[in-house]
């Protein structure tokens, strides 16, 4: 997702440019910088208090305003000062997510005596109710967690594999990018259950309750949800999906209450019977029968056999910090590869956002893209040389390819033997959340449906959208991401945990397709090399690879989007160095993170202010990241 501007509106459409300008003003506000800070702080406090007192009814009583044009005399420049937000702090706990009620669901659990693992499950379930275009309990995900009682970082993989019947012969020439054929084993709920079973404290039923309330009683329809359901109606054109998203024969309208009674019934069964109520028994059998009746591949046996898996995370060190990520099929390895290259260079001496700094980041991203695309796949079925790739000697070899003031004309192939991955580029729509508690536990969790609204299919009468992640498995038998039973698709998701002097310091992650493991590197460099707090680190301008085929290419060209808050002279200098630049108002993605001060235990949350969306001819304000602390 990216925030468009007049320069990327087709044919210089003046009306579209004017609409963008009005919405920019709405997001930024038209008052003076001082009054914006005071007003924003007061509003944040008021919202937090209302949510604490009246969850979830506060959302039901809210009226979403329409976009209105401000007085042109009060135009505010789009600058870093008014794009950023103050950091959110807390002592007892902190939750960040892409919906205010999602964050509030987790905070409710923390204030009721739950720990970070309880709160992460509650938040993930709630976000799946509130933002079904990005995630539901029928999606896939990863979590990286720090367990304070064990002084240990663990990785949880709940990225469901292809069904047992998913063979090239079964697919044939049929399109399996959307619809009944596109669904792997739904796995988010098994992941939540595994996280709670291993480390949770409160009863499972209590952790599920916030999501159940939101599904049953509803929430206010936002402009984004209303417009995207209408825009993507063809992708939701299945009887079971129309019943959920078009209950009155039309898309929901802004300000209406969106209730999901089928999903509430499913969640009630899950609250009472645990994840087995979904994966075994009547619900699973109805799902299996539903897919069989519609020519799909998912079966009851796939659901009944599925379990999330714990594993050792992959990790590296960066200037004394230990950075942990899930192993492949996650792309966290790509973050670590880039950090290893950067560690041998004095990044801070270049000056933040100088042409030399941005040029270096872009070149390192190109190296990271090439190696990630060459190596990352499902490690349970294909060997990935993780130890060799994370060896500091290998980083030194790749670092020799960098030349200050010179752009690499091409990316030399890695000397490590590995076949190429033929995965095509398709935009991924995900969501990320972080949770920290007073005991020192940290959770970094990313989950997805694949494309917006996933497969487009609500499974049977469950009220649950399932994903379309089968699209990332391919009928080419030579591909490491080849289609075969039980193979997990490669994922861009890269939830991170960072330790400082052996103590929990940071939970960090982002949605946003292949940009995830680029922007996380930039944020870590902002925090560690340039000493920024987490809020400024996620809000400051970013660049992102824009040369095409980011999930495929082994030789990414030096083509980037660069946020136009940076000076024109910076653009000119980078172009002189050989970069092709596409100015953009905001690079896609919504980074969020939580920092724990090892000395005091106090927490600071960072919430990315970027969150506009575009889809075809539509653009508009979307959900933003919300941090809540206490």
| Backbone phi and psi for residue 429, each to the nearest 5 degrees, phi listed first | -120, 115
Measured between its terminal Cα atoms, the distance across the chain in Å is 31
Sign of the alpha-carbon dihedral angle for 328, 332, 337, 343: negative
Q: Are 521 and 361 in contact (CB under 8 A)?
A: yes
Q: Residue 552, SS3?
A: coil
Contact of 595 with 606, CB cutoff 8 Å:
yes
d(CA 616, CA 230) in angstroms, rounded, equals: 13
Contact 503, 421 (CB under 8 A): no
In the Cβ-directed half-sphere of 548, how many Cα atoms lie within 13 Å? 2
The 3-class SS string of 351-376 reads: CCCCHHHHHHHHHHHHHHHHHHHHHC
Distance CA 614, CA 518 (A): 20
Catalytic, out of 144, 377, 382, 430? 430
Residue 430 annotated as catalytic: yes
Cβ atoms of 463 and 278 within 8 Å: the answer is no
How far is it, in rounded angstroms, from Cα 311 to Cα 127? 25
CA–CA distance, 91 with 301 (Å, rounded to integer): 45
Do 313 and 327 meet the contact criterion of CB atoms below 8 Å apart?
A: yes
H/E segment holding residue 323: strand 321-325
**318 by DSSP, 3-state: which?**
strand
Question: Which structure tokens are listed for 137?
Answer: 């309990």
Half-sphere exposure of residue 302: CA atoms within 13 angstroms, side-chain side: 25
**H/E stretch holding 286:** helix 282-293
* Catalytic residue IDs: 430
């Amino acid at each position: 997702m990216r925030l468009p501007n007049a320069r990327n509106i087709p044919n210089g459409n003046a009306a579209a440019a004017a609409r963008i300008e009005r919405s920019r003003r709405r997001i930024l506000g038209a008052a003076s910088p001082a009054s914006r800070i005071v007003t924003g702080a007061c509003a944040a406090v008021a919202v937090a208090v209302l949510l604490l007192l009246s969850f979830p009814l506060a959302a039901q009583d809210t009226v979403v305003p329409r976009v209105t044009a401000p007085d042109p005399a009060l135009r505010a420049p789009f600058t870093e000062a008014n794009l950023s937000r103050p950091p959110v702090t807390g002592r007892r706990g902190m939750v960040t997510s892409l919906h205010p009620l999602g964050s509030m669901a987790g905070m409710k659990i923390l204030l009721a005596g739950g720990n970070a693992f309880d709160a992460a499950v509650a938040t993930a379930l709630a976000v799946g109710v509130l933002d079904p275009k990005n995630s539901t309990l029928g999606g896939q995900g990863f979590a990286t967690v720090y367990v304070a009682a064990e002084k240990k970082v663990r990785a949880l993989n709940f990225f469901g594999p292809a069904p047992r019947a998913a063979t090239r012969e079964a697919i044939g020439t049929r399109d399996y990018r959307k619809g009944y054929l596109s669904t792997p084993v739904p796995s988010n709920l098994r992941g939540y259950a595994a996280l709670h079973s291993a480390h949770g404290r409160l009863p499972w039923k209590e952790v599920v309750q916030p999501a159940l309330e939101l599904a049953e009683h509803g929430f206010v329809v936002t402009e984004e949800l209303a417009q995207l359901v209408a825009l993507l109606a063809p992708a939701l054109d299945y009887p079971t999906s129309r019943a959920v998203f078009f209950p009155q024969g039309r898309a929901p309208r802004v300000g209406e209450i969106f209730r999901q009674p089928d999903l509430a019934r499913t969640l009630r069964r899950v609250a009472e019977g645990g994840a087995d109520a979904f994966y075994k028994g009547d619900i699973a059998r109805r799902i299996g029968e539903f897919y069989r009746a519609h020519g799909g591949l998912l079966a009851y046996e796939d659901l009944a056999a599925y379990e999330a898996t714990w594993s050792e995370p992959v990790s590296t060190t960066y200037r004394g910090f230990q950075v942990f990520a899930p192993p492949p099929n996650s792309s966290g390895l790509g973050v670590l590869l880039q950090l290893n290259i950067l560690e041998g260079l004095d990044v801070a001496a270049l000056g933040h956002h100088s042409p030399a700094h941005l040029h270096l980041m872009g070149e390192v991203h190109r190296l990271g893209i090439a190696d990630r695309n060459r190596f990352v796949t499902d490690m349970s079925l294909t060997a990935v040389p993780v130890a060799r790739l994370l060896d500091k000697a290998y980083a030194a070899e790749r670092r020799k390819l960098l030349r200050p003031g010179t752009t690499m004309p091409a990316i030399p192939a890695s000397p490590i033997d590995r076949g190429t991955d033929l995965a095509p580029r398709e935009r991924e729509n995900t969501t990320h959340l972080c949770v920290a508690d007073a005991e020192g536990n940290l959770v970094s969790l990313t989950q997805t449906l694949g494309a917006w609204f996933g497969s487009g299919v609500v499974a049977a009468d469950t009220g649950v959208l399932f994903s379309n992640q089968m699209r990332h498995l391919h009928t080419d038998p030579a591909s490491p991401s080849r289609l075969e039973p039980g193979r997990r698709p490669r994922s861009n998701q890269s939830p991170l945990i960072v330790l400082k002097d052996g103590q929990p310091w940071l939970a960090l992650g982002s949605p946003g397709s292949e940009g995830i493991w680029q922007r996380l590197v930039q944020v870590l460099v902002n925090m560690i090399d340039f000493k920024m707090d987490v809020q400024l680190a996620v809000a400051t301008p970013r660049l992102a690879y824009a040369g095409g085929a980011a999930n495929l290419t082994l030789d990414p060209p030096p083509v980037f989007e660069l946020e136009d808050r940076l000076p024109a002279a910076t653009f000119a200098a980078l172009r002189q160095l050989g970069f092709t630049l596409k100015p953009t108002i905001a690079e896609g993605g919504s980074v969020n993170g939580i920092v724990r001060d090892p000395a005091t235990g106090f927490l600071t949350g960072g919430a990315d202010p970027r969150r506009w969306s575009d889809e075809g001819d539509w653009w508009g304000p979307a959900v933003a990241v919300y941090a809540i602390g206490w």
